[in-house]
Amino acid sequence: MEALILYFVLFFPGIQASPSPDWLAQGIETAGTIPFSAIRELTRTVTYTLPAIALLLYIISDKKGLSGLKPLAPGRQDIIPFVIGLPVLIVIGLFIAFLIPLFASVAQPPRIEGPYNFPGWAVMVLACLAIGYLEEIYFRYYLLTKLETINPAPRVIFSTALFALCHLHQGPWGVANAAIAGLFLSLLFLRYRSLHGIALAHAGYNMFVYVMGTV
């Protein structure tokens, strides 16, 4: 019950509809161009993403503070998931981008513009890191460990379904991208038990999308 309450509070239905790095990375229901706004992303990061991360970490620590977060300390175990995760996420994104022109009748995603100055790039990096950590903390670390008494397959399906569901407002391509990426990240987490590796890979993918928007 706690997991579902957190999901509806943090991710569904309205909060994710406002622009965010992950939202921008996967598109919305109409074609066009989405300009980057440093003020928008910074405001969202400070007022929503970081407080949401703090709430999840507080719950995960079992209300013990920093002492309860020792299992989350970064280490060598995070390197391999990052090295594997980032290129695979990029391939998934490129695969979806390849399919889009083949299905002209399906709503097309917009072109995403990247930042145009140093402050903008700094905000973009912060926003991507924040949303990457928020989603990986909840959808992978929290859900997949919270439900550890359940067999892996139902846990992965449940986590992936919720992850895809909160991308409904992005249209079919966003849901498809989220479903495939969510399944992959869930399996990667279960294999390596690394939060930081998959969170950084997730953030790196979002940054890649912004970089491509400047080309």
pLDDT, tens digit (0-9, with 9 covering 90-100), for 169-179: 778 888 999 99
Task: Please state, in angstroms and rounded to a whole number, the distance separating the CA atoms of residues 200 and 86.
Answer: 8
pLDDT digits (tens, 9 = 90+) for 100-124: 989 888 887 777 888 989 999 999 9
Helix axes 195-212, 172-192, angle to 10 degrees: 150
Worst-scoring range by mean pLDDT, 39-53, 140-154, 193-207? 140-154
Is the pLDDT reported for residue 32 higher than 50?
yes
Biggest CA–CA distance in the chain, Å, is 53
Worst-scoring range by mean pLDDT, 1-5, 56-60, 85-89, 191-195? 1-5
Tokens coding 95: 């695969």
Tokens coding 54: 């703090």
* 194 to 61, 67, 82, 170, 185: CA distances (angstroms): 16, 18, 9, 28, 10
pLDDT digits (tens, 9 = 90+) for 36-92: 999 999 999 999 999 999 999 999 988 666 767 887 889 899 999 999 999 999 999
Residue 196: predicted pLDDT: 97
Mean local confidence (pLDDT), 180-194: 96
Is the pLDDT reported for residue 31 higher than 80?
no
The answer to whether residues 167 and 26 touch, using CB atoms and an 8 Å cutoff, is yes
The answer to whether residues 3 and 146 touch, using CB atoms and an 8 Å cutoff, is yes
- Give the chain's mean pLDDT: 87
Question: Which amino acid is present at 73?
Answer: A
Is the pLDDT reported for residue 27 higher than 50?
no
Residue 25: predicted pLDDT: 41
Task: Please state, in angstroms and rounded to a whole number, the distance separating the CA atoms of residues 201 and 185.
Answer: 9
Residue 111: predicted pLDDT: 77
How much is the pTM? 0.88
Unique residue bearing structure tokens 């038990």: 193
Residue 110: predicted pLDDT: 73
